[in-house]
Amino acid sequence: MRIFVKASMLFVILLVISCTKPAERNIGGKIRTGNVIFIHPDGCGLATWNALRILDKGPDNNLNWDKLSHMALYRSHIKNTLSTSSNAGAVAHAYGVKANYDSYGQEDGGQIVALSGESMPLGLEAIEKGIAVGIINSGELVEPGTGVFVAASSSRKNDDDIAKKIIQSGCDLMFFGGENQLLPEGTEGRFTSSGTRKDGINLIKWASENGYNVIYNKTELENIEKLGTKVLGVFGSSSTFNDKPEEELQELKLENYNPEAPTVAEMTAAALKYFKAIGKQFLLVVEEEGTDNFSNKNNASGVLEALRRSDAAIAETNNFIEHNPNTMLIVGSDSEAGGMEIVGFTEETLRKQDKPLLNDPNGAPWDGPNGQDGKPFYSAPDKSGKSFPFFLAWSSLYDTYGSVVFKASGLNSDRLKDNIDNTDIYRLMYYTLFGKELL
């Protein structure tokens, strides 16, 4: 009898222990909560990754993206269309529910309720629960791939409202272009001759007065771990890139990216140094907007440069995960902008052409490194040392359903598998941040 009582008491004690901190335990005692890094090369489909691999590494080698351990095919439809918008796609990721094409976190005059039951996006819920949050964008701060995680508005066109909500959201770290959206009309900034805000609010001044250290260049970015405060990084008047067709950029003597601005990989590396220094669990959402905007302009060289920067950001994150295994990296887009495909030829075929190859017989334009001048890209050598000519063909100037693939590594990456819906990205991030399964 005494043995039975002791055994019963032991069972009760073990039961109590097993029920404590349910958000931090999994089968076998495995910790399931930790940091989340979401890298979003906007508008990037499988063909885009294939093109970069072929160009930079060769057909038989691997990008950093290829080395990520888990993969799933992605379904991108939204509430009222098959092809999504950047803002509606971001709503699926930040709220875990499908939204209409025009949604930026609000619909029918009210705030969208997330899958968790909270009337707020994932970033704001994380902030409310004491998790550090960072957002990085190579475009303007109001870009929805990052903005929707911490702000909601009745329209994507409400730049003044969205910018104010993002800056005042409580994020620990914010890096982007779009200085003009932070300053009142007539106010000169570091990069812009005049702000665009019509409400008279100087959001850079507000940030500085409310605990943010404001930085503007690569040198300040490299010393970020010494700042010890919340950080606002402003790196351009609008985007850090020039999203125009190749031929137009050549006429204007502009590069695809502004060389003074840090790359998305440099911003990601600095953010990871920052979060390591503050020592808190964190959510970091990183968007390379150039992959989308250059695709919508059918600028192949711009797209590949943008994706190369994304792949470098993946390398920075993989290195961080090696030393911080309680971190999940998830990488993917919400659509395939421009409908890119790869068209390959033999050297003999190219030599026999009487005129440059500018488009497919169906009229779809073909791009090389200089645009539509008929000169092809050349791949890096394959395993036998051979290089191949190829063009990138475009089917559209819009975002298409396409062939989007999500990949992941690190903590809980094994939960990304098979076919996933766009709303499942929220589920995976929520589980890793809070340890709660959402049905």
18: number of Cβ within 10 Å: 11
- CA 180 – CA 169 distance, rounded (Å): 19
Backbone phi, psi, residue 230, to 5°: -65, 150
236, 179 Cβ separation under 8 angstroms: yes
Q: Is the dihedral of CA 248, 252, 253, 255 positive or negative?
A: negative
> Over the stretch 218-248, which tens digit does the pLDDT of each residue have?
999 998 988 878 999 999 999 999 999 999 9
pTM above 0.75, yes or no: yes
Rg (alpha carbons) of the chain, rounded to whole number = 23
**If 0-12 CB within 10 Å is exposed, 13-18 middle and 19+ buried, where does residue 326 land?**
middle
User: Tell me, what's the pLDDT at 10?
Assistant: 42
Sole residue written with tokens 């887009």: 333
User: Tell me, what's the pLDDT at 439?
Assistant: 85
In terms of Cα–Cα distance, which of 92, 230, 216, 90 is closest to 162?
Answer: 90
> Over the stretch 307-319, which tens digit does the pLDDT of each residue have?
999 999 999 999 9
List of the chain residues with pLDDT < 70: 1-31
> Over the stretch 176-188, which tens digit does the pLDDT of each residue have?
999 999 999 999 9
User: Which residue ranges form the domains of the chain, and what is each CATH number?
Assistant: 40-340+394-434 (3.40.720.10)
